Structure formats: structure tokens, C-alpha cells
Amino acid sequence: MKLLHIDASALGAYSVSRELTQSVVGRFRDAYSNLDVTYRDLAALGLDHWSPVADPAHPAAAQNKALIDEFLAADIVVIGAPMYNFSIPSQLKAWIDRITVAGVSFRYTASGPEGLAGGKRVIVVSSRGGAYGVDAPAAPMDFQEPYLRALFGFLGIEDVEFVRAEGLSMGDDDHKKATIERARAVVQALPLQVAA
């Protein structure tokens, strides 16, 4: 079984999303002795903004192919996606631009687009300073979770779930610790089955 672990936070050791993705991946490691994990630290990788690469000998072409190949090969994708300014980090968007490829991860048909990357499970660890749940006043400003749900759905992935550490900046240190503990409890409760 293959698991692709993606971190996008620029906060390094101070990142809540990084801590929680490690916990998610750790649970799968414990459950599956044959787990093959590929790790991508997008903050360290330094992907440029996407641009067309026509020359297959160009170094970016090989990197782009490696990124989409490992995404398509994965049975499970665990993504650390902090909210930056109501959306996702640009590092994560640059990775998404590498895995969203017409004719490879989706295709256009006479009846509309068709996702080609189905059959995998995506777990997104979302960390947010504010509160953006459906009943929160700031809910209309959430361009993170709806975007990721739409994007992976477009690629044909139906099994997308979120672990949320929300409201991290809305109180003192005790509030932040309690928020992280609630997210850790969600991680511990994640089912570990993967669709065949």
C-alpha cells in the first residue's frame, strides 16, 4: 500500500498541520506493515508557479512527472493544508497545478470533465487561526476547504475527509492546546480501512 504525505506549512517545527499529519501517517504506519510512504515537504521543495514545459529534457518536466506519478500511484494521500489568508498556501497550489493535468488526472469529454484519479483516499489536515465552520460568521470567507473538496472531486476522488484544528488564534495558549487536543482525538478516531 502506498501513502503520499504532503506538508505545505512554512512554519516548520511550529506548524500545527505538520504535527497532525505526522500523527495521521503514524497511525497508518502502525496499521499496515507494508506501507510505502513518500514524503514531500512543499515549503522545502520550492516549486515555482506552474508554467508550460514543452521540452521533455527540461529538469522541470522530470519533476512534474514524478509529482503526478506518485500522486496517481498513492492509495492514501495525507495533506497538511494550513489556511493562509482564507485559502491554501501557494506552495500547495503549485503542487496541485502539477497533479491536475488534462488527459492524465482528468479528461474532458462530450458530456463534461471526468476525473481519472479516483479510487484513493485523501485526508486533509486543516489548521486555521479563525473559525470558518458552517455556522461561523466567517464561513463565507473559507476558500480553503470548499476549494480542496471541489478540486479532488474534479479529479474523481470521492473519499475526501478533513481533520480540522480551527480557531487556533482565538484565545490564549490553553485554548490553542485544547483545540489541538480535539484535532488529535479526531486523528485517533480516523478509520484505517482503505477501499480495495
155 near 115, Cβ under 8 Å? Answer: yes
pLDDT in tens, 73-102: 999 999 999 999 999 999 999 999 999 999
Residue 9 and residue 55: Cα distance in Å, rounded?
31
Query: What's the mean per-residue pLDDT of the chain?
Result: 94
SS3 of 120, please? coil
pLDDT in tens, 133-161: 888 999 999 999 999 999 999 999 999 99
Point out which residues pair with 37 in neighbouring strands.
3
How much is the pLDDT for 85?
Answer: 95
Q: Name the residue with cell 479528461.
A: 107
Please, which pLDDT band fits residue 196 given cuts at 50, 70 and 90? low
Backbone Cα Rg of the chain: 17
Point out which residues pair with 159 in neighbouring strands.
121
pTM score of the predicted model: 0.94
Q: Where are the alpha helices (DSSP H) in the chain?
A: 16-31, 42-45, 59-73, 90-99, 145-154, 173-189
- pLDDT of 71 strictly over 90: yes
pLDDT in tens, 47-63: 999 888 878 888 889 99
What grid cell was written down for 136?
Answer: 461561523
Q: Where are the alpha helices (DSSP H) in 81-156?
A: 90-99, 145-154
82 near 89, Cβ under 8 Å? Answer: yes
pLDDT in tens, 100-140: 999 999 999 999 999 999 999 999 999 999 999 888 999 99
What grid cell was written down for 99?
Answer: 497533479
